Structure 1
Amino acid sequence: MKYIIGIILVFMTFGCMSAPKDLGVKSGKLSPLKTSPNGVSSQTNQLEKLVDPLVLDIPTSNAKEIIKKACESYGKHKIIKESEDYLYVVFITGTMRYRDDAEFYFDSENKVIHYRSQSRIGYSDMGLNRKRYNTLAEFYYKNKQ
């Protein structure tokens, strides 16, 4: 039994830690969230996972720099991909070093920044992705003026 539990823990720690393959913007949309309650998005129809998009009323390049600073101030993270209208960041939690994938889509046509963040493993994130969104959004609004 201990052997089986050990294998499961190793698989959960390393096997499930790889980045999702379906991230990015397709036809103006970020990927849909999984059904588990461990993520939030500004483009979901699941009300319990819905967050407001951020208002993009400054130049996109300035907004992106503020978002990058917000991520830096939040804690351990790594920018994985960046383009003119997209930012993909992996946040790494403290003790267990879980990875959460966060995406920002700078939709200049609609003047909003869409957000999606989901934990790679586990069923519940204990509200961490929503708390992170709130912290990043607060930083963004304080510093964009």
Structure 2
Amino acid sequence: MIFAGNRPNNLGVREGKLALCPPSPNCVSSQSTDSLHHIAPLSFTSSPEQALTNLKNLILSLPRTKIITETEDYLYAEFKSAWMGFVDDVEFYLDHKSNIIHVRSASRLGYGDLGVNRQRIEQIRAKLN
């Protein structure tokens, strides 16, 4: 774990919102309004509870992934890169009002991510659908 970094202290849901992305391009969020960071939220057709269970099972099936926090409407997982052990913090927030799952995926260290965070969310979206 050469480049694990420290777990951020600004994660979680506050007033229905995940943390803002930093100005650097190594973060995506479905709640971001700028094109650099914005990514579509995850949608589902099952019950919200089943959607979160399906998401959790998918995350647990991925390599080098650990769920850190889990509530009835929130999942926080750490994804570790195979190369050098870089850690990305990935959050999922189930919005019951809109029937969507908001996402935020951010690199813990560095500036750029070569699109890894966006690709991860799109892979999760494809596997869920």
Q: Percentage identity across aligned positions?
A: 38
User: In the TM superposition, what whole-angstrom CA distance separates every residue of 1:104-141 from its partner, at most 9, and x where no partner exists?
Assistant: 00011111100000000010000000110010000111
TM-score (norm 1): 0.83
Structure with greater helix percent = 1
State whether residues 105 and 117 of structure 2, in contact with CA within 8 Å, keep that contact through their aligned partners in structure 1.
Answer: yes
Structure 2, gaps ≥5 residues long: none
Q: Distance in 2 between matches of 1:49 and 1:70?
A: 23
Q: Distance in 2 between matches of 1:75 and 1:69?
A: 12
Matched, 1:13 2:12: no
TM-score (norm 2): 0.93
- What pairs with 1:1-145 in structure 2 (closer than 5 Å)? 13=3, 17-141=5-129
Shift of 1:73: 3.2
Q: Give the RMSD, CA atoms, in angstroms.
A: 1.4
Mean alpha-carbon deviation: is it higher for 95-104 or for 62-71? 62-71
Q: Provide runs of 4+ in structure 1 moved above 2 Å.
A: none
Structure 1, gaps ≥5 residues long: 1-11
* Bigger Cα Rg: 1
